[in-house]
Amino acid sequence: MSSEPLTLISATPSPFARMNRIALQVKGIPFELQNEIPWESKTQTPKYNPLEKLPILVFPKNDPRPPVYESAHIQTYIVEKYADKGPKLLPGDLDGNLMAKQIVVLSVGCMDAMVLSRWESRREKEQQSQKWIDRQSRKVDGAMWAFNDYVEAAQKDGREFVVGAELTIADIAIVCTVGFIDFGEVRPGWREQYPKLAHYFDHLDARKEFKETRPVMFDLTEKVV
């Protein structure tokens, strides 16, 4: 492995990339942030990811590793490849590790649903499908309900974190997803509906690495749908 810093191709509002940024920062892995707007024609994303999406983890020129993409896979890559660096961000036992990864998948599914819904609502009014928006909306509600369940179960057990005794990629994923819901005002009443989840969220979101990576909106100038 090269000693040069890695590059994370990211977008300032991206909750997907935020998960990876937090994991890299908490583990103390040197990296540079390359902010892009992946929907605009000058984006570099197709050069590194056939799916044309970010986040993408890119290695220095003298490091032969191919780019790593899909936020959940990047998290796995970070925790497994850099297992000896900084906090593990996984509980350590097989069942616990698999559970933490399951919660990352749930979170990414929820974020994907929000993105799909947002694009649908950007179409011309007569082209929009309310059925499709409702379908995505159910996924967001389902994920919020499940996050709250994980948090309540942990609290009953006297644990601060959803899997195991320390911060893991599962907590990072929940906070990034709920943070995007909050930022985008996707569920304005969520704090009243889920006070325990809100307390858990506020507590973790106040940590340095979370504060430094909160979403910031960009201006999209090109038409996408």
Residues near ligand GSH, by CB under 6 A: 11, 14, 16, 38-39, 52-55, 70-72, 108, 112, 115
Minimum CB distance to ligand GSH smaller for 43 or for 155: 43
In the three-class reduction of DSSP (H, G, I as helix; E, B as strand; rest coil), residue 32 is classed as: strand
Positive or negative torsion for Cα 49, 108, 73, 161: positive
- What's the min distance (Å) between Cβ of 58 and ligand GSH? 14
- What's the min distance (Å) between Cβ of 52 and ligand GSH? 5
- What's the min distance (Å) between Cβ of 93 and ligand GSH? 25
* Nearest-angstrom CA–CA distance, 169 and 20: 9
3-state helix, strand, coil in the chain (%, to 5): 55, 5, 40
Beta carbons of 85 and 34 less than 8 angstroms apart: no
CB atoms within 10 A of CB 133: 15
- What's the min distance (Å) between Cβ of 131 and ligand GSH? 21
- What's the min distance (Å) between Cβ of 10 and ligand GSH? 9
Minimum CB distance to ligand GSH smaller for 54 or for 140: 54
Q: What are phi and psi of 33, to 5 degrees?
A: -100, 125
Minimum CB distance to ligand GSH smaller for 69 or for 190: 69
Minimum CB distance to ligand GSH smaller for 16 or for 147: 16
Residue type, position 84, single letter = D
- What's the min distance (Å) between Cβ of 17 and ligand GSH? 7
Minimum CB distance to ligand GSH smaller for 55 or for 164: 55
* Nearest-angstrom CA–CA distance, 195 and 192: 6
Minimum CB distance to ligand GSH smaller for 154 or for 213: 213
Scan for tokens 């994991």, then name that residue: 23
* Nearest-angstrom CA–CA distance, 108 and 73: 11
